[in-house]
Amino acid sequence: MGFKDPVDGFIDGGQPAVYPTGKRIVAETAGSVTALMTTPVADVINFFREGISFPESAKVIDDAKLRVALELWGAYFTEISANARFLTLVMALEALAIGTPRTQLVLDLQDKWKKEIEALEKNIDPDSDDAVSLNALKNDLESRREQSIGRQIRTLVFNTLHTNGDRDAKTMMRKTAQLYKHRGTLVHKGKLKSSVLGKCTTDAKNIVECVLRARFLQKAKPGVTTAI
């Protein structure tokens, strides 16, 4: 029976089914299907040839942070979950981020608070709840001597692309700030609207691709910049 005839329903040809007599039913018997997407050999060879032609290509592998970021970039393509794909891209930027100290004013204030905490600790029972809370606060102050990770990745994106001659460096930085806000919403609330998640993933993929390409070129071809 061709599909030009009226059809009332479809059933799996490999499973039993119950349906009213007189109905036109089509049994699907296509069997299991496996989809495979590959990259043409010629393209792979060209990528490999271009990579090894760079004078300092070995330094790319020696850069541990860049290597981790590239591994996360590769993992993005194998993640099944839409949430995981977006978070993996953000993690690639986090892997490249470098901690920078806060301003001296803030550091001095943190040192002052730390001394006040230590003075209080001398006068309370070390096994008390207050002692545990004060110690946790002191550790928290110490961990916050560097800029927030959100600010670190914004700085990373701008500095990397600006150094590489990318005229859209500021735009990319602003988009990165929004992406990190949405990342926080997803991690802490467990969901984003599908439309928001889709746009975030598209923007994140573009930013990570540009940053990784720029960092790769800066390592493999020092002194050479290529606007993206």
Q: Please say whether the beta carbons of 35 and 50 come within 8 A.
A: no
Inform me whether the pLDDT recorded for 12 exceeds 60.
yes
Selected residue with higher pLDDT from 187 and 35: 187
Q: Phi-psi bin for 21: left (phi > 0), alpha (psi -120 to 50), beta? A: beta
Taking only the tens place, the pLDDT of each residue in 66-79 is: 889 989 998 998 89
Q: How long is the chain? A: 228
What pLDDT score was predicted for residue 165?
87
- Say if residue 64's pLDDT is above 60: yes
Would you state the pLDDT for residue 202? 94
- Flag whether pLDDT at 223 surpasses 60: no
Q: Which two tokens stand for residue 138?
A: 């002191």
For the segment 145-183, what is each residue's pLDDT rounded down to a tens digit? 555 678 888 888 999 999 888 888 999 999 999 998 999
pLDDT tens readout for residues 184-202:
899 888 889 999 999 999 9
pLDDT in tens, 101-145: 667 787 778 788 888 888 888 888 888 898 888 888 887 777 665
pLDDT score, position 216: 83
Residue-level pLDDT at 227: 46
Q: What is the mean pLDDT of residues 6-29?
A: 75
Query: Which is more confidently placed, 204 or 21?
Result: 204
10-18 mean pLDDT: 75
Residue with tokens 């560097």: 146
Q: Where in the chain are the domains? A: 55-99+149-220, 104-143
**pLDDT of res. 228:** 43
Q: What angle do CA 208, 214, 217 make, to 5 degrees?
A: 135
Instruction: Categorize the per-residue pLDDT at 1 as very low, low, confident or very high, splitting at 50, 70 and 90.
Output: very low
Helix axes 82-96, 149-163, angle to 10 degrees: 70
204 pLDDT tier (thresholds 50, 70, 90): very high
Q: What is the mean pLDDT of the chain?
A: 80
